[in-house]
Amino acid sequence: MRIRRSTGATALAGGAGAILLALALRPASALGQWGDLRIEVGGSHAFAASGSQIDAATYLTAGLQVDRWTPSGNGVFGGVFGGLALDSIGGNWGSFVLGGEAVARAGRAVEFAISGSVYGFAVGGPFVYEALTAEVRPEIRIPVGPAVIVFYGEGGKGSSNIEFRRTDLVKAFTQDLWHYGGGPELQLYFGRAVTLASYGLLKTAGGTYHRGEFQVRAGAAGSLLAATIRVWDTPLGTETTGSFSVTVPLGGPNWFARVVGGRTDPDPLVQSQPGGQGGLVIGRRLVRFGPGGPTPVVILRSTTGGVAARFRLEDQVAEQVEVLGDFSGWEPQAMVRDGQAWVLEIPLAAGTYHFGFLVDGEWFVPESAPGQVSDDWGQVNATIVVPERGDSR
Amino acid sequence: MTYDMKVKRSLILAAVLAAVFAAGSANALLGQDRAARIREVYSPEAAAQIEAVVEAARRNGVPVAPLYDKAIEGAAKNVPAARVLPALREYSGRMERAQGLLGGTREVAWVVAGADALLKGVAGEALTSIGQDAGARTPVALMVMGDLMEAGVPAERAMEVMREALVRTTGEEGLLDVTPALRRMVRDGALATDAAGRMLRAMRDGVSLRQIRDAAPGRLDTSVRPVPQGSDPTRDRPPV
């Protein structure tokens, strides 16, 4: 389950524009089903909110992000992002996030999960600001048909430092940040989309916060859309916020563009000033991690002179998947999409064959493939053995 | 999805599969086609050099079809001929050694699997031992032995696992469960050596490799495979 929660740090005037962008641009969701390593470069802008102390600022941004998931839902993610201020108002900034999620199950009925992340942020002058926070979220998940009922807890702790400089005068402040709470959540799955509605009650140093949230995530043809609306009832009043992220492929499987934008949450662990932010980054997937799940080839049945082998590769992002190997004279054989996987049956005579997949034109052998062996040229082939009698599998 | 939609989808899938199935048959290369293909995809000079490597192998009794396949693979992966030729010579030598260790077999599947196992660090004695113990299952057994060693299982422990698996399983299918079972335990946090030891004990206790492969984390004795949200291949996986 990869619906991320927001973690953050205090943002005050001066550093606020930068941290808003850092929050918006940090790793949020994987582009690949099993995770990937990707680099992103682009531009971003923090908008001044009416009546606030925040100044608008523009940045060149760049980041490196990685995430890795197993079929059972355990995974880790991390990333670094930074911004170079293009005007004198904003300061150069950098951020990192490290996190993970572990899942355990009690039969089919209940799933227990715990996720956590550590987030760090620093912005240079004119207003020096640093923050480090950690957040943990335990969940009990109860699948009911296409829905999942979730009861979650939420706890966060952190601290921030800010320095005010006026020629020879420097004043530094340190602030402890914390919140804890929880609530119910309902997730509904429709094919390649998921909607989420939740309520949260959070206790903080600044009083009690109520949070209602509605979120939609959907993927199609290599694109991903995520949109969130939140309504906050805080000691300072009621506020509606939201954010969106749209990722689209750019002329190939590994290049993509990501547009983010939104209005700042009054999250008690963020305590940011009201404002908006937006950015556009161009990304390149450097490594695509493969499935660790079902073996990609099984022998279905005996045929005259051999067997029928079924090749299957799970990949919901790819536009085209082909299989090729000794059995096809190394000619790519187009596979057919079947739900979340690509499949193809091929008749094979008895023998030992090397093979692999072309995912959007790039060589790929999943981790679960049997008989992985070097091809002598820097890549790996998988192997299928078809027994002489062909009736054993 | 309605019943009609399911039927329609099945028919479309069957039709596409049938078409591609036929295409797959047509693309499989016969022996004589392979030499012609080499001449198509390589320059005359490179093709002649490849043919010389193949002829030398043929004289030594080494199967030549895998050499042709390797050369065709190199062309498909856009590897320059200058890099293909050394790989072919090395592969030929490895197959010849595997052939000798497997009692001079002329079974191509055995020789290829043996050559791969040598490449993955399986010792010559282990190759011979598996060839003697596994009988017709030798190619799969060699492949699995190589997978175990590559996963980090020490040679002696891997050999113990293979011997136990050969006794406890029938057919190739049983052997093919060894590596997924090991990977399952490694994925759940076990070291490869420990996982192999646990697998060995579980097999001796009568637990099947399939049960180990499908067991929930921390449980080797479950007979019910848990299907967590999003990981059931029969259901749509949520987007990420």
Are A261 and A340 members of one domain?
Answer: no
- The reply to whether A392 falls in a domain is no
Chain A: residue whose CA lies nearest to B29: A329
- For residue A309, the enclosing domain spans 297-386
For B215, which DSSP code? Answer: P
Rounded to the nearest angstrom, the minimum Cα separation between B230 and chain A is: 8
Q: Are A19 and A251 in contact (CB under 8 A)?
A: no
Are A333 and A195 members of one domain?
Answer: no
H-only helix segments in A142-290: none
CATH number of the domain that A372 lies in?
A: 2.60.40.10
Give the integer Cα–Cα distance in Å for A210 and A183: 10
Are A213 and A302 members of one domain?
Answer: no
Are A237 and A258 members of one domain?
Answer: yes
- The reply to whether A337 falls in a domain is yes
Cβ distance A344 to B27 less than 8 Å, yes or no, reads no
Quick: pLDDT tens for B9-57.
Answer: 443 344 333 333 333 333 345 556 888 889 999 999 999 999 999 999 9
Cβ distance B109 to A386 less than 8 Å, yes or no, reads yes
Are A303 and A238 members of one domain?
Answer: no
Give the integer Cα–Cα distance in Å for A59 and A26: 15
Are A52 and A201 members of one domain?
Answer: yes
Quick: pLDDT tens for B184-204.
Answer: 777 666 778 888 988 888 888
Are A95 and A143 members of one domain?
Answer: yes
Are A47 and A184 members of one domain?
Answer: yes
The encoded tokens of residue B63 equal: 């199967």
Quick: pLDDT tens for B53-92.
Answer: 999 999 999 999 999 999 999 999 888 999 999 999 999 9
pLDDT value at residue A86? 84
Give the integer Cα–Cα distance in Å for A386 and B218: 33
Residue ending a domain, among A240, A257, A288, is A288
Give the integer Cα–Cα distance in Å for A204 and B89: 70
Cβ distance B176 to A370 less than 8 Å, yes or no, reads yes
- The reply to whether A4 falls in a domain is no
The encoded tokens of residue B10 equal: 């099945």
Are A322 and A380 members of one domain?
Answer: yes
Q: Are B91 and B67 in contact (CB under 8 A)?
A: yes
H or E element in which residue B160 lies: helix B155-168
Give the integer Cα–Cα distance in Å for A93 and A103: 34
Sort out which chain A residues have CB atoms less than 8 A from B173's CB and list them.
Answer: 392-393
SS3 B46: helix
Are A306 and A254 members of one domain?
Answer: no
Q: Would you tell me which residues 163-182 of chain B have a C-beta closer than 8 angstroms to some C-beta of chain A?
A: 171-173, 176, 179-180
- The string of DSSP letters for B49-104 reads HHHHHHHHHHHTT--SHHHHHHHHHHHHTT--HHHHHHHHHHHHHHHHHHHHHTTT
Rounded to the nearest angstrom, the minimum Cα separation between B204 and chain A is: 23
Q: Are A220 and A192 in contact (CB under 8 A)?
A: yes
Closest by CA to A356, choosing from A339, A373, A340, is A373
Give the integer Cα–Cα distance in Å for A32 and A313: 13
Sort out which chain B residues have CB atoms less than 8 A from A318's CB and list them.
Answer: none
- Of the two residues B216 and A393, the one the predictor is more confident about is B216
Q: Would you tell me which residues 181-240 of chain B have a C-beta closer than 8 angstroms to some C-beta of chain A?
A: 183, 187, 216-217, 224, 226-231, 233, 236-240
Give the integer Cα–Cα distance in Å for A20 and A95: 11
The torsion angle over the Cα atoms of residues A237, A240, A241 and A246, rounded to 10 degrees, is 170
Sort out which chain A residues have CB atoms less than 8 A from B227's CB and list them.
Answer: 108
CATH number of the domain that A150 lies in?
A: 2.40.160.40
Quick: pLDDT tens for B93-137.
Answer: 999 999 999 999 989 999 999 999 999 999 999 999 999 999 889
Chain B: residue whose CA lies nearest to A341: B233
Rounded to the nearest angstrom, the minimum Cα separation between B236 and chain A is: 5
Are A45 and A170 members of one domain?
Answer: yes
Q: Are A158 and A269 in contact (CB under 8 A)?
A: yes
Site from A190, A301, A377, A381 to mutate, B interface, most B CB atoms within 10 angstroms: A377
Are A88 and A130 members of one domain?
Answer: yes
pLDDT value at residue A326? 93
- The reply to whether A54 falls in a domain is yes
H or E element in which residue B142 lies: helix B138-150
Full pLDDT tens readout for chain A, 393 residues: 222 222 222 223 334 444 444 444 444 333 334 567 889 899 888 776 544 445 577 889 898 988 876 645 677 888 898 888 887 766 788 888 898 888 776 655 777 889 898 888 888 776 777 888 899 999 998 877 678 899 999 998 888 887 766 666 677 778 788 889 999 999 887 655 778 999 999 998 778 899 999 998 876 656 778 899 999 898 888 888 888 888 887 865 578 888 888 887 766 665 555 677 788 989 887 876 654 456 677 766 666 677 888 898 887 667 888 999 999 999 999 999 887 788 999 888 888 999 999 887 778 888 778 898 988 888 889 999 888 764 333
Burial of residue A212, with CB atoms counted within 10 A of its CB: 0-12 exposed, 13-18 middle, 19 or more buried: middle
Could you give the number of structural domains in chain A? 2
pLDDT value at residue A186? 93
Beta bridge partners of A176: A159
Rounded to the nearest angstrom, the minimum Cα separation between B92 and chain A is: 13
- What residues does each domain of chain B span? 34-119, 124-226
For residue B183, is pLDDT > 50? yes
